[in-house]
Structure 1
Amino acid sequence: MNTLLQLLLLLGFISATNAQQNPVFQKLRYDDDVTYLKTDSAKNAYQRIKYIPLGKNSSYFASIGGEARWQYTYTVNDKWGDESDEGDGYLLSRYLLHADIHLGAFRTFFELQSSLANSKIDPSPVDENQLDIHQAFLDIDFIDNKNEQFTLRLGRQEMMYGSQRLVAVREGPNSRLAFDAIKLFYKNKNWQTDAFFTHPIANKTGTFNDQFNENAKFWGNYTVIHKVPFIENIDLYYLGLWKSRAVFDDATGEETRHSFGTRIWKTKGNWKYDFESLYQFGKINEKTISAWTISSFACYTFENIKFSPEIGLKTEIISGDKNADDNHLQTFNPLYPRGAYFGLVALIGPSNLIDIHPSVSFNLTEKFTLGIDYDIFWRQNTSDGLYAPNMQLLYSGKGTRERYIGSQLISNLDYDMNDFLSFTLETGWFNAGSFLKEVGRGKDYFYGALTAQFKF
């Protein structure tokens, strides 16, 4: 597979330099639109693999694409010195290759994923999953035109909603997340609604062994309404989760959790914003769940100033458990969030947390972008612990009343060489606070990461 990918990447890189118009690569690659190539009679080698006619009917065609990502990371004081107080470097590589076949009202999408970890000690399946079927689904279109679409999707597929706080493809880590799902979705110019029932994939290290996961179920409805007076856009959603076994600081057992939420957002213009709130209820073992979160983000771009600086402020309050050893659990579960929630290395997950996060970014040139953000973290409730993005309990909150976790400074330098190839240099420093010093060694954590990503 590596040889095939290398040949395709080379083909894409050489021919792309002569392409007059190239596809816009979407976050979900099955949303890539290559139909503009239907009327292009002078296709180069790259464009010929992006649009392959399958007959005289223009709605019968195939497309091939993929990506390769290499990411070298160097860390000092893993887990704030509790796992290692020495420097450690490792290389993560990820390869994706897909085929997209359209046959009128029917469409199939198939994608392979290979994630490799070199020199990393005890890599998890999220770091290393040698080769597996990442996506394989069938679409049946009941309505499909410029103004309206009504589709049934069956099979293994990626899903991503809203700001990716709750449902994401887990782009930051090495292995992206997919779901074995049935999904029905309708959209027109002003709104879209999805209804789905899924079993999230549990990755396993190895080859073609990511089997159907009977230990978790995830279902719900997500609706997005555009062109709303004054607020611009609004999301309304319900998400349901069942796990055969979940572990929190003060609860372990079978979990059933329901989440109702809304999001108000705007992504165009000088002012941009994203406000979200949701409430969760359900049961874990014999305990009742009552959890919540409120998040706000606003930023402004100064277009008439050199480098077009954008200044932003994000704040979050995410509930934690109030009292240990009672019959209630207030710990928020972020479900399936983006992996790199607070930076690429993602030390902390969005649970039992208060976060203040100012940021600034600059467009240095057309190709270079610099971003700097600073995070300050506290525990929302001192009876609860500190969690990773995957809800693994990092440190218990029992036996300590310290609230301050620490602060984190991150810088990103992005270079978009062309439409296909990009580089990112990210550095981070986490200054351990009083909580980390009391429950562990509490050393300051450092990392640097260089990422190269090629898409075709």
Structure 2
Amino acid sequence: MKTRHQPLKTLSPALAGLLLLSHAAIPGLQAGTTAAPAPAPAADKKPVSAGLLNDALRLQNPAFDAWDIGGQFRFRYELKDDAGVVASQDFISRGVDNDNDVFLFREKLHIGWQPESWLKLYVEGRGSQAESDDRDPSPEQDVWDLHQAYLQLGDPQLFPLTLKVGRQEMTYGDQRFVGIGDWSNTGRSFDAAVLRYSFSSTSWIDAFTSRVVIPRDDYFNESNEYDQFSGLYASTQSLWTGVETQAFFLARNVSGKSPNAIAPGIGGPTERDVYTYGVRLKSLPDKFGPWDFAFEGAGQFGDIVTAGVERDLQAFALTGTVGYTLRDVWAKPRIALGYDYASGDSNGSDGDHDTFEPLFGTNHSFYGVMDLVGLRNLNSPRISFSVKPAKGLTLSVDYLLFWLADTSDSFYPESGSARSGNGYGKNPQYSSFVGSELDIVAKYAFNSATEFQLGYGHFFPGDYIKSSVGSVPRNGGATGADWLYVQAVFNF
């Protein structure tokens, strides 16, 4: 792939943000500003649990204080009707089988050892099983594999540099661009090296390089050596009082061998060099009274090879949420308004590629809990309402509307290739209104170790889906989609 020299002005928002964060974080660079000492814990405050098994072991013998032994059991049943199995068959009234009910089981067992504050070893195994899944092979199946195994060196209380190297989970910000994908039965981890410089307990900058691990049932999971993901990520709470301010620059460099890196047809995306820069602002708890907010913006440049043609990437995404909680009212109701936008491609035959690339984001719940839509060619406002009528119980209702950012581009699923076939594709002659989704979710935490969830979602097809699906007579028109799930989690 040929090398391009990007103009300096393209990089300046990210670099300026990183420099500004560093300036805000380093003591002495801001006149009259010093880091506030951590408040002393209240005498009657209940100690934080280290987990059911750890608590029990440490009560028996102080030698277990250096050990972290525990795990998680998770069960989920999902029922999907008319969407969510094969994306190109979503919302089709007849002629296709796009219904699925699946039982998902996941077990995680870990052991960690930290004999010194500056030395930690951690290993975690993960088992993922799927029963009655109509997808063959099931993407949720990966019976016992190595999920994490890393060495961590350094103690920021003694020296500002720390290093974490090995197989590990990586999360940054709200996980829109880098996350663990925990809703998936297999989750996500990376073979990575992460170097952190801590300016204070609330200000740091990470430099990392990594390769994503590809889940593969019946084989030891390997990372894709042809899909390199690196970046700088900085965070501080000193730049703006009451706000976590972050800036990042991320690079994903993928060679043409990526799609078959692990085995034929098992790997990553096609050849591309994607550079993402952005800024995130999020209010800290209770710092703005009843108000809370989060905003994130990202731009992209680079090049992507599609159908053997190299095209210049120029894309961007904007997200934001503002919420208000009635603290003095029963059940503490909260109402929030949100908006998500990701650019689409206005001309698939020119030399530019304008569709935003969501990298390794955790999509579940951001763009509808039914996981039918992702952050690509998206224009989506939403309204959310939640209450907490009893201790441990949260009830939430979300209503989301979806438009295509550009009708000359495709309607993309949560992940994977664009919807195509059965009338789907690039249909610039149709309305941009895709549809809407209503989500209702109840979560109840029995205690710190056990949580139960029940959720329902319904997708109402809009004019774009009706026109696309309706253009093929055998489809019998468009239909709405339903989704129901029950989940139980036990941590020990």
Deviation at 1:350, TM superposition (A): 0.8
Residue in structure 2 matching 1:214, options 215, 220, 225: 225
Structure 2, unmatched stretches of 5+, are 1-44, 84-89, 260-268, 470-476
Partner of 1:150: 161
Deviation at 1:393, TM superposition (A): 1.4
Asked if residue 197 in structure 1 is aligned to residue 209 in structure 2, the reply is yes
Deviation at 1:387, TM superposition (A): 1.6
Q: Greater shift after overlay, 102-111 or 339-348?
A: 339-348
Partner of 1:133: 146
- Percent identity between matched residues is 26
| 1:143-182 matches, cutoff 5 A | 143-145=155-157, 149-182=160-193
- The 8 Å contact of residues 337 and 389 in structure 1, kept in 2 or not, is answered as no
Deviation at 1:394, TM superposition (A): 2.0
Q: Greater shift after overlay, 385-394 or 45-54?
A: 45-54
Residue in structure 2 matching 1:282, options 291, 302, 326: 302
Partner of 1:111: 124
Partner of 1:447: 483
Residue in structure 2 matching 1:91, options 98, 103, 109: 103
Partner of 1:68: 73
CA–CA distance in structure 2, aligned partners of residues 405 and 49 of structure 1:
54
Partner of 2:243: 232
Q: Secondary structure of 2:374's match? A: coil
Deviation at 1:375, TM superposition (A): 0.3
Asked if residue 424 in structure 1 is aligned to residue 453 in structure 2, the reply is yes
Partner of 1:47: 55
Q: May I ask how many residue pairs the two structures share in their alignment?
A: 410
- The 8 Å contact of residues 333 and 391 in structure 1, kept in 2 or not, is answered as no
Deviation at 1:243, TM superposition (A): 2.2
Distance change (3 Å), C-alpha of 1:129 and 1:389: same
CA–CA distance in structure 2, aligned partners of residues 180 and 50 of structure 1:
31
Partner of 1:389: 414
- The 8 Å contact of residues 166 and 192 in structure 2, kept in 1 or not, is answered as yes
Distance change (3 Å), C-alpha of 1:290 and 1:231: farther
TM-score of the superposition, structure 1-length normalised?
A: 0.84
Structure 1, unmatched stretches of 5+, are 1-19, 25-32, 35-43
- The 8 Å contact of residues 402 and 433 in structure 2, kept in 1 or not, is answered as yes
CA–CA distance in structure 2, aligned partners of residues 387 and 181 of structure 1:
29
| Paired AA for residue 120 in structure 2 | R
CA–CA distance in structure 1, aligned partners of residues 244 and 144 of structure 2:
39
Distance change (3 Å), C-alpha of 1:50 and 1:276: farther
| Paired AA for residue 276 in structure 2 | S
TM-score of the superposition, structure 2-length normalised?
A: 0.78
Q: Secondary structure of 2:350's match? A: coil
CA–CA distance in structure 2, aligned partners of residues 201 and 216 of structure 1:
10
Partner of 2:281: 264
Deviation at 1:253, TM superposition (A): 4.3
Q: Secondary structure of 2:271's match? A: strand
CA–CA distance in structure 1, aligned partners of residues 58 and 69 of structure 2:
5
Q: Greater shift after overlay, 124-133 or 91-100?
A: 124-133
| Paired AA for residue 427 in structure 1 | Y
CA–CA distance in structure 2, aligned partners of residues 23 and 190 of structure 1:
20
Larger strand fraction of residues: 1
Q: Greater shift after overlay, 307-316 or 339-348?
A: 339-348
Asked if residue 323 in structure 1 is aligned to residue 347 in structure 2, the reply is yes
